[in-house]
Structure formats: C-alpha cells, structure tokens
Structure 1
Amino acid sequence: MVCKRLSAALACAAVFALAGCAQPWQGFTAGEDQSAVIARLGPPREIYDLPGGGKRLMWPTQPMGETTTAADVDASGKVVAVRQVLQPSEFYKAQIGTWTKQDVLVHFGRPEETAYFPLMKREVWSYRYLENNVWYQLYHFYFDPEGILRLTQKTPDPLHEPERNRFGF
C-alpha cells in the first residue's frame, strides 16, 4: 500500500516538474541582443527578412516535431519577440485572399510537407503542431496557382492516430 502511494506521489511530482520546464521560446526579454538567443538555441535553421530591416530567426523541430521557435529581431539586432509560432493563435493570423506563400513561409518557416491537388488546382503546405498541449494536429494552407492563400484547414495528425479497425470497430 505504501509502495503504491509512493509511486503515485512520484508520478505526480514528475508531471509537475515537467510542466514547470521552460520552453525554448520562454525567458527572453525584448531589447536584449540576438546573440543571447543564438547562444541559448544555437544557430537558426531558417532566417527571413522582415519589414523595416529586421529578421525572423527560426528553430523548427519539423518534420517530426510540433514546434518552431521564432525570434524577431530589429535592424540593430535587438530582440523584439520570441515565441512558438506553430499554434492556433498564430495560424489564425493568416489572411485568406491576401497572404502569399512567402507570407506563410516567413511566418511559419518551411512546411513539414507539401502536396498538390490537381482537381482543386491547389498546392497545400502542412505543419505539424500540438493543440492545447493535447491534440496532435496538422494545419494546412491551400494556395491557388498564383500562390495566394485560399483556404486553411486543421486535421488530426495521422502520425499520432491510433490504428483503426478497417471495419470501424
């Protein structure tokens, strides 16, 4: 009985310890030099130009991971913001009919996967993410032949879907 209680207590402690772990995008202060971000996260895997001479530095965990840390720095190399961009609040900023492939690329980095649906005449870029720290999802951006965003969609990530019986049981 004591062993079961101890096991339960240790399991709870482990959950709380993990919940308290700082994520890579946390703990940075606006105004600090970009070298502090690079020292902590390593060299960025992707770099994009922002309006006004700034840069977006990105550390994706795609294709198998669900996060991309993005650090926006101004023209002088000072940190403006550091955040995780593969999340609903960021995806919902995408503007249908206005954003282009370049806008999506700069905001979210390279997609985990691309596909083309000839009947729809749409190219689709997909990003793996974890919604509400619970649901493994894919967020899809559909572009018309001119590269304009026409549709977004989220679906369960088949990588994390349990095997289903072919007969629905």
Structure 2
Amino acid sequence: MLSKTLRTPAAAITLALMLSACAQPWQNYQAGADASTVTARLGPPKEVYDLPDGGRRLMWPTQPFGETTTAADIDASGKIVSVRQVLDENEFYKAQIGTWTQKDVLLNFGRPVETSYFPLMKRQVWTYRYMEANVWYMMYNFYFDNQGILRLTQKTPDPLHDPDRRGFF
C-alpha cells in the first residue's frame, strides 16, 4: 500500500492528466453533423442569430463572470459548419474599424458583459471578458460612434481578477 505522502502527488498527477484530456465545449464536433449533437451536449443556446447565408449562429456565453462563448454556426439545412470559442484575441482582431457595426459585433461575439457611454468622446462601449493566451484575464472593448459604427477597440486587464482591487466591486 502506498504511503500517504506518495498517494497525494500521484493523485495530483492523475487529476492533472485527466483534466488535460477533457475537451473544451467547442471541441470534438464534426462539420456536417446534425446541429442536435451540439444542443444535446451544451443544452439550448442562450443566444441565436441569423446568418446572411440563411444559417444560424447558436451561442453559449459564460458571461458575466466567465471568459468564453461557444458559437456554433449551423447551415440552412441544420448541419454544423463550425463550433468555436469566439471570445479570443484572434477573433476580436477580425473586427474592422470603420466598417463593422454594433450588429456585426453582436453577431460575432454575442451580448456584451457591460455597456457604457462616454459623452465627451460621444462613444458607446461594449465590453467582453476573455482570457488572452489562456493566461491573462482581460477585457476587450468596442467603441461605437453615434451611428453605431465601430471606431476603436481596446484591451485592458480585467479588474475582477486584480488582487489589488478585490473588494472594491
């Protein structure tokens, strides 16, 4: 029988290996499979958006305190096109300043965790929590003019995870 000191590290290593083998909610879906395979695993989507090609985007956000949103693009016949995590810096960088609107941001990232208006700038800001490089807790901000056109993006550290600011919220 293993001593107590040997069982603890062994259990920790086993747990780490088991967790590393777990798939994220947006992984392990095959393009062309029926959309019911996604909803069977993730449940009903919290947000649904119509896509320009007649398909739909189903979303499962973990906001307001989580950093992920799983998005499944479903074609007009009900088949999976793709399933991915959209609150990611590579996804955010696709936003086109001067071209994208609030509707484009909503379609691509879902509802923001927070909205604000800065009257001196005349900008509405939508904010999303995310993890950058799976290490840093961040906030990604989209600034819109009064016509709803994207004019600026910005990323900042998430104050929710700042140990110096805990207790101030």
SS state of the match for residue 53, structure 1? Answer: coil
Give deviations 1:60-92, integer Å, cap 9, x for gaps.
111111110000011111100000000111111
**3-state secondary structure, aligned to 1:159:** helix
Q: CA deviation at 1:9?
A: 3.3
Deviation readout 1:13-43 (Å, 9 max, x if unpaired): 3222212211111111000111111111111
The residue number in structure 2 matching 1:116 is 117
Q: Residues of 1 paired with 2:20 and 2:153: CA distance?
A: 31
Could you say what secondary structure the match of 2:73 adopts?
Answer: strand
Structure 1, unaligned runs of 5 or more: 165-169
Separation in 1, partners of 2:7, 2:49:
50
Counterpart-to-counterpart distance in 1, 2:144 and 2:84: 25
Equivalent residue, structure 2, for 1:72 = 73
Q: How does 1:7-156 map to 2 (within 5 A)?
A: 7-156=8-157
Residue 11 of structure 2 aligns to a residue whose secondary structure is: helix
TM-score by length of 1: 0.92
Structure 2's unaligned 5+ residue stretches are: none
Q: Give the SS at the match of 2:53.
A: helix
CA distance in 1, matches of 2:113, 2:97: 20
Instruction: Report the Cα offset of residue 107 of structure 1.
Output: 0.3
Alignment: residue pair count: 164
Provide the rounded CA distance (Å) in 1 between the counterparts of 2:5 and 2:164. 32
Superposition TM-score, scaled by structure 2 size = 0.92
How high is the sequence identity, in percent, across the aligned residues? 69
1:84-143 Cα offsets, whole Å, 9 max, x none, are 000111111100110000000000000000001111111000001111221111111000
Q: Which runs of 4+ in 1 moved over 3 A?
A: 2-6
Query: Which moves more between the two structures, 7-16 or 24-33?
Result: 7-16
Q: Partners of 1:86 and 1:119 in 2: how far apart?
A: 28
Q: Distance in 1 between matches of 2:163 and 2:91?
A: 28
C-alpha separation between the residues in 2 aligned to 1:15 and 1:111?
33
Partner letter of residue 29 of structure 1?
A: Q
CA distance in 2, matches of 1:16, 1:132: 21
